[in-house]
C-alpha cells in the first residue's frame, strides 16, 4: 500500500521508495528509509499536505509525494524485510590499515595562527544551532522555530582561556550534499575556508536523524565535536545516553549542552581547544562500511584517486570516491581540473550502474541505508529511550491550529488581532512621542528667530523625522507578533496550512514563510527564499515577496487609515495586506503560466515541536528592529528629510524680505511654497498620477519612497507642515488634497509600488540577474498604477 493511503493514527513500515534524484535524497535525509516506522498524524485543513511522524519528528508531505513511498503493516513488514546488520563495522583507513578505526587526522593541526581558532557551526534546522551561536559569541541573531532562518553565514567571536575563537554560524541543513542552496553553501564553506574545528549541533532527544549529518562529517574527516543540544529535553523524556561511549564509537567527542540556559558551553569550548591542539583522546578517523558491493567498487576508485598528485587536499580520498560514485555534480566540478578526471568519471559511471544492478537501489540510497544502519547500531548500544511522551502537547495544539474547520479562521483571527493591536495599542505611545516632538518643535521655534535655519530645524528635521519616529510603537508591536509566531513554531504550521493554496498558485508551501517574513522586511524575506529547492519556485517567490506590505509601509497605512477611515482603520489595514497577498498570488500564476514551466518539488518540511518563546529572545528581537528603525531614522531619513526640505523651501517668493501688514513671508513655511523646486518636480510628474486623483504633493511622496518607504511620511511631514498645533493626520485631512477615494488609491499604490532600493538590490543578488530586478521595478509600478486607478474609479462609481 502507499503511504498516502494510511489513515490518521495508523502506523506502517516503509518497504520501498519510488521516485528518483532530489526527491529520493531529500526524503531519505528526512528519515523516510526502508524498515523505518511511519505514522500518519494529521491532515491539513484542505486534506493536503499530511503530517507524518517518522524517526521522532513530525514531517509534512504532499499526498502525491507520499504515494511514492510504499508501506506495509508492521506484521506484514516483518515477513517482507530481511534483517540487516545494523551496526556496520569500520573499513580500514588507507593511512594505517586499521580495521577498527584509527587516530589518523587527515589534516595536521594548524600552526599558522597561534591561539586563533576558526570554528564552523553546522547542524540540522531547529537543532538550536543559532541559539548555540548566540550563547557562545554573545551575538544576537534571531532564532526562529522553523527551517530556514539562517540563510547566510553569520560571524562572531569570543576570547576563552587565552584563545580567540572565531565562530561562523552556517545555514541549517540536513546533509552536506549538492541538493539545495544551503547544502552547497555549507560544503563550499568547509572546502574553501577549512575551519580548524567543526561544532555539530544535534538535538539530543532525537539523535537518529540528526546524526546523519554527523556521518557525512565523518566521511569528510574534519575535526568535529558534537554538541548534544537541548539535553534537558532528553532528560525530561526519561531517556538516557552514554554519550562518552557513543563518541568513542564514532570517533567524535560529544558534549551535552543547553544553549538557551548556557549549560555545557565551557566543556564544549574546552573540547574545541583540545581538538585544535591535537590533545583530545576521543577523536579518531573511522570509515563507515557501506557493504561488500559498495566497498568492492569504492576501494579501486579510492586507489586510483590516491595515486593522483593534483587531487584537492581539503577532503580525504575516500570522500571524493564516494561522491564520484554518487555522481555528485558539485564534486565533479571540484575535480574536473584534475588530469585523470575523465578516467575517474568513466570508472565511477560504470561502477554506479553495477551497484544499482546488484543491489536494486541507486548508490545514494545504498549509502543512506548504510549510514542509518551505522547510526542505529551505535544507538542500540548507548541509548535507552524514555517512557514520557514529550510530543503530546504539540499534537494537541496541532489538532486545533491545523483543524480543517478551525485552521483558516484561527489564522485570520490571529492576523486581525495583530493589526488591531498595531493600530489600537500603538496609538497611545504614538501620541506620547507625537507630543514630545511637538513640544520640541515649539521650544526650538520660540528660542530662535524666524528664518531658514529655524524652518529647517522645526519643519524639516523635527517635523520630518518626528513624523516617522512616532510610528515606532506600531513597528515594535508588529515585530512582537512575528517573533512570537516564529519562535513558537506556528510559522511552520502556517506553511503547512497554506501549502495547498500555494500549490495551486504554482508555488511551494515553503514560499509562504518568506511571504510572512515580508510583513516585517522584504530584504531578509527575499534572502529566505534560498531554502526553496526548486529554482523556478524560488524565483517566483522572490518576485512576489515585495507585494507583502513591509513594516516600512505601515506608517503610511496608519497615517492615511487614521486620517480618512478612522472608524474602520484595522479593517483597512487587513484589506491592504490581503490585497498584497492576492496580487502576489495572481502574479505567481501568471509567471508560472507564461515564463516558468510546471516545476514539481517535494513539499518535505519538518514541523518542529511547539516551544514557549523566551522573554529574552522576544525582547532581543524587538530591540534589534527598534535599533534598525532608529538607525534608519538617524541616517537615510534624516539626510533625505533635509534634502526634501531644501527642495521644498527654495526658491523663496520674490517678496521674501518684504513685510505686509506686519506679516513677513518667512511665515510661508516650506510646505506652502508652491514655487519651490519640489513643486516644480511634482507638477511635472503629477499628470501621470492625476487619473488616480493624486496631486503633486502626493506624487512627491511616492517619488521619495524609492530609497525607503518611511520617507513618504517624512516627506508629507515637510510638505504639510504648518504653524498650528494640529498633527500630520489632521493637516492632511484638512488640506483638501485627498478624498477618501484618492486616499485609498494612494494607499494601494504605495502598497504595490516597487520596493525600496535595498530590496531591489537583494533581488538582483539572489537571482544573480539585474534583469529580474529591473522586471520587479517595472512590473510592480505598472501593477500599482492599474490597481490604484481601478480603486479610484470604482470608488467614484460607488
Q: 39 in the Ramachandran plot: left (φ > 0), alpha (ψ -120 to 50) or beta?
A: beta
Report how far residue 141's alpha carbon sits from residue 138's, in angstroms, rounded to the nearest whole number.
9
- 739 is written with which cell numbers? 478624498
Q: Is the dihedral of CA 549, 593, 777, 750 positive or negative?
A: negative
Closest CA to 147 of 614, 522, 415, 532: 532
Confidence of residue 602 (pLDDT cuts 50, 70, 90): low
* Across 432-446, 620-634, 656-670, least confident range: 656-670
* Across 40-44, 504-508, 539-543, 630-634, least confident range: 504-508
Other beta carbons within 10 angstroms of residue 36's beta carbon come to 18
Is the distance from CB of 562 to CB of 599 less than 8 angstroms?
A: no
Report how far residue 544's alpha carbon sits from residue 525's, in angstroms, rounded to the nearest whole number.
11
Q: Is the dihedral of CA 433, 436, 438, 440 positive or negative?
A: negative
Report how far residue 475's alpha carbon sits from residue 622's, in angstroms, rounded to the nearest whole number.
9
Average pLDDT, the chain: 83
Residue of higher predicted confidence among 741 and 531: 741
pLDDT tens digits, 412-429: 888 888 878 887 888 888
Confidence of residue 139 (pLDDT cuts 50, 70, 90): low
pLDDT tens digits, 441-476: 888 888 888 888 888 888 778 877 877 788 788 888
User: Is the pLDDT confidence value at 481 over 90?
Assistant: no
Residue of higher predicted confidence among 573 and 707: 573
User: Is the pLDDT confidence value at 270 over 90?
Assistant: yes
Give the SS3 label for residue 316: coil
User: Is the pLDDT confidence value at 731 over 50?
Assistant: yes
DSSP sequence for 486-514: HHHTHHHHHHHHHHHHHHHTT--GGGHHH
CA distances from 306 to 209, 332, 341 (A): 32, 16, 13
What is the model's pLDDT at position 792? 95
pLDDT tens digits, 302-338: 999 988 888 887 888 999 999 999 998 888 988 999 9
Task: Determine which helix (DSSP H) or strand (DSSP E) holds 292, and give its type and residue range.
Answer: helix 292-306
User: Is the pLDDT confidence value at 27 over 90?
Assistant: no
User: Is the pLDDT confidence value at 131 over 70?
Assistant: yes
User: Is the pLDDT confidence value at 734 over 60?
Assistant: yes
Residue of higher predicted confidence among 731 and 471: 731
Confidence of residue 775 (pLDDT cuts 50, 70, 90): very high
Residue of higher predicted confidence among 533 and 66: 66
Task: Determine which helix (DSSP H) or strand (DSSP E) holds 15, and give its type and residue range.
Answer: strand 11-17
User: Is the pLDDT confidence value at 7 over 80?
Assistant: yes
User: Is the pLDDT confidence value at 23 over 80?
Assistant: no
Q: Provide the 8-state DSSP code for 173.
A: -
- 652 is written with which cell numbers? 523663496
- 330 is written with which cell numbers? 558539485
pLDDT tens digits, 684-701: 888 999 999 999 889 988
Closest CA to 417 of 500, 490, 514: 490
pLDDT tens digits, 780-792: 999 999 999 999 9
Q: Is the dihedral of CA 9, 13, 16, 21 positive or negative?
A: positive
Peptide bond preceding 391 in cis form (omega within 30 of 0): no
Q: Is the dihedral of CA 747, 748, 750, 751 positive or negative?
A: positive
What is the model's pLDDT at position 310? 86
Is the distance from CB of 711 to CB of 704 less than 8 angstroms?
A: yes
Residue of higher predicted confidence among 185 and 320: 320
Report how far residue 394's alpha carbon sits from residue 383's, in angstroms, rounded to the nearest whole number.
24
What is the model's pLDDT at position 20? 55
CA distances from 377 to 238, 250, 723 (A): 21, 11, 80
User: Is the pLDDT confidence value at 632 over 80?
Assistant: no
Closest CA to 760 of 741, 738, 775: 775
| Mean pLDDT computed over 268-273 | 95
What is the model's pLDDT at position 113? 47
Confidence of residue 120 (pLDDT cuts 50, 70, 90): very high
> What percent of the chain has a predicted confidence (pLDDT) above 90?
30
Report how far residue 322's alpha carbon sits from residue 560's, in angstroms, rounded to the nearest whole number.
62
Nearest 5 degrees, angle CA 382-CA 386-CA 391?
125
| Mean pLDDT computed over 587-591 | 90
User: Is the pLDDT confidence value at 715 over 90?
Assistant: no
Other beta carbons within 10 angstroms of residue 201's beta carbon come to 27
Nearest 5 degrees, angle CA 12-CA 15-CA 16?
130
| Mean pLDDT computed over 155-173 | 91
pLDDT tens digits, 103-113: 444 343 333 44
What is the model's pLDDT at position 225? 97
Report how far residue 749's alpha carbon sits from residue 762's, in angstroms, rounded to the nearest whole number.
22
Q: Is the dihedral of CA 5, 8, 9, 14 positive or negative?
A: positive
Amino acid at each position: 500500500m502507499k503511504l498516502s493511503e494510511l489513515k490518521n493514527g495508523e502506523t506502517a513500515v516503509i518497504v520501498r521508495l519510488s521516485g528518483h534524484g532530489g526527491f529520493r535524497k531529500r526524503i531519505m535525509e528526512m528519515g523516510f528509509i526502508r524498515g523505518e516506522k511511519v505514522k500518519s498524524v494529521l491532515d491539513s485543513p484542505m486534506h493536503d499536505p499530511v503530517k507524518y511522524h517518522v524517526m521522532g519528528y513530525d514531517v509534512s508531505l504532499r499526498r502525491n509525494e507520499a504515494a511514492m513511498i510504499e508501506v506495509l503493516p508492521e506484521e506484514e513488514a516483518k515477513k517482507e524485510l530481511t534483517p540487516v546488520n545494523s551496526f556496520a563495522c569500520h573499513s580500514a583507513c588507507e593511512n594505517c590499515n586499521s580495521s577498527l578505526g584509527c587516530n589518523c587526522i587527515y589534516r595536521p593541526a594548524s600552526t599558522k595562527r597561534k591561539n586563533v581558532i576558526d570554528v564552523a557551526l553546522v547542524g540540522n534546522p531547529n537543532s538550536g544551532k543559532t541559539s548555540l551561536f548566540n550563547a557562545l559569541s554573545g551575538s544576537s541573531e534571531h532564532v526562529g522555530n522553523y527551517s530556514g532562518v539562517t540563510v547566510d553565514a553569520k560571524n562572531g567571536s569570543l576570547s576563552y582561556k587565552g584563545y580567540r575563537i572565531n565562530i561562523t554560524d552556517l545555514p541549517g541543513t540536513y546533509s552536506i550534499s549538492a541538493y539545495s542552496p544551503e547544502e552547497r553553501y555549507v560544503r563550499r564553506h568547509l572546502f574553501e575556508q577549512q575551519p580548524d574545528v567543526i561544532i555539530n549541533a544535534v538535538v539530543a532527544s532525537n539523535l537518529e536523524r540528526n546524526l546523519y549529518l554527523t556521518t557525512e562529517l565523518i566521511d569528510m574527516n574534519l575535526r568535529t565535536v558534537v554538541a548534544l543540544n537541548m539535553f534537558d529535553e532528553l532528560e525530561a523524556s526519561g531517556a538516557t545516553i552514554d554519550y562518552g561511549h557513543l563518541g568513542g564509537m564514532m570517533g567524535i567527542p560529544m558534549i551535552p549542552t543547553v544553549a538557551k540556559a548556557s549549560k555545557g558551553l565551557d566543556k564544549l569550548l574546552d573540547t574545541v581547544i583540545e581538538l585544535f591542539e591535537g590533545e583530545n583522546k576521543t577523536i579518531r578517523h573511522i570509515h563507515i562500511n557501506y557493504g561488500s558491493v559498495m566497498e568492492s567498487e569504492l576501494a579501486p576508485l579510492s586507489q586510483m584517486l590516491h595515486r593522483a598528485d593534483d587531487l584537492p587536499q581539503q577532503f580525504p580520498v575516500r570522500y571524493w570516491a564516494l561522491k564520484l560514485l554518487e555522481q555528485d555534480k558539485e564534486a565533479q566540478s571540484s575535480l574536473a581540473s584534475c588530469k585523470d578526471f575523465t578516467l575517474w568519471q568513466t570508472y565511477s559511471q560504470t561502477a554506479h550502474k553495477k551497484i544499482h544492478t546488484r543491489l536494486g537501489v541507486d548508490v545514494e540510497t545504498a549509502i543512506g541505508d548504510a549510514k542509518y544502519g551505522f547510526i542505529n547500531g551505535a544507538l542500540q548500544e548507548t541509548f535507552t529511550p524514555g517512557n514520557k511522551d514529550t510530543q503530546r502537547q504539540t499534537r494537541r495544539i496541532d489538532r486545533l491550529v491545523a483543524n480543517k474547520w478551525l485552521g483558516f479562521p484561527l489564522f485570520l483571527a490571529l492576523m486581525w488581532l495583530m493589526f488591531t493591536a498595531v493600530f489600537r495599542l500603538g496609538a497611545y505611545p504614538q501620541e506620547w512621542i507625537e507630543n514630545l516632538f511637538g513640544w520640541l518643535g515649539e521650544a526650538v521655534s520660540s528660542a530662535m528667530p524666524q528664518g531658514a535655519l529655524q524652518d529647517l530645524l522645526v519643519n524639516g528635521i523635527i517635523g520630518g523625522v518626528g513624523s516617522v519616529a512616532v510610528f515606532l510603537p506600531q513597528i515594535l508591536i508588529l515585530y512582537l507578533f512575528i517573533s512570537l509566531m516564529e519562535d513558537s513554531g506556528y510559522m511552520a504550521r502556517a506553511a503547512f496550512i497554506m501549502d495547498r493554496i500555494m500549490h495551486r498558485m504554482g508555488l511551494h508551501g515553503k514560499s509562504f514563510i518568506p511571504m510572512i517574513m515580508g510583513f516585517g522586511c522584504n530584504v531578509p524575506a527575499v534572502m529566505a527564499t534560498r531554502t526553496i529547492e526548486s529554482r523556478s519556485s524560488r524565483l517566483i517567490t522572490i518576485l512576489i515577496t515585495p507585494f507583502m506590505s513591509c513594516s516600512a509601509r505601515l506608517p503610511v497605512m496608519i497615517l492615511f487609515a487614521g486620517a480618512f477611515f478612522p472608524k474602520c482603520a484595522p479593517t483597512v489595514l487587513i484589506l491592504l495586506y490581503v490585497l498584497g497577498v492576492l496580487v502576489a498570488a495572481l502574479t505567481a500564476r501568471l509567471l508560472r503560466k507564461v515564463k516558468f514551466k510546471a516545476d514539481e518539488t517535494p513539499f518535505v518540511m519538518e514541523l518542529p515541536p511547539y516551544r514557549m518563546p523566551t522573554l529574552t529572545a522576544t525582547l532581543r528581537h524587538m530591540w534589534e528592529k527598534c535599533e534598525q528603525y532608529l538607525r534608519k531614522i538617524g541616517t537615510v531619513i534624516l539626510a533625505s528629510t533635509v534634502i526634501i526640505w531644501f527642495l521644498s523651501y527654495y526658491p523663496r517668493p520674490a517678496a521674501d524680505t518684504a513685510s505686509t501688514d506686519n506679516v513677513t513671508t518667512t511665515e510661508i513655511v516650506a510646505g506652502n511654497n508652491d514655487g519651490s523646486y519640489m513643486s516644480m518636480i511634482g507638477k511635472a510628474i503629477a499628470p501621470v498620477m492625476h487619473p488616480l486623483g493624486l496631486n503633486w504633493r502626493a506624487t512627491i511622496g511616492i517619488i521619495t519612497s524609492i530609497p525607503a518607504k518611511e520617507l513618504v511620511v517624512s516627506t508629507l511631514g515637510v510638505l504639510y507642515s504648518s504653524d498650528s498645533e494640529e498633527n500630520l493626520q489632521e493637516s492632511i485631512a484638512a488640506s483638501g488634497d485627498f478624498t477618501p477615494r484618492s486616499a485609498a488609491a494612494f494607499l494601494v499604490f504605495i502598497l504595490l509600488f516597487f520596493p525600496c532600493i535595498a530590496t531591489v538590490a537583494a533581488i538582483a543578488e539572489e537571482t544573480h540577474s539585474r534583469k529580474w530586478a529591473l522586471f520587479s521595478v517595472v512590473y510592480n509600478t505598472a501593477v500599482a498604477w492599474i490597481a490604484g486607478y481601478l480603486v479610484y474609479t470604482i470608488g467614484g462609481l460607488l
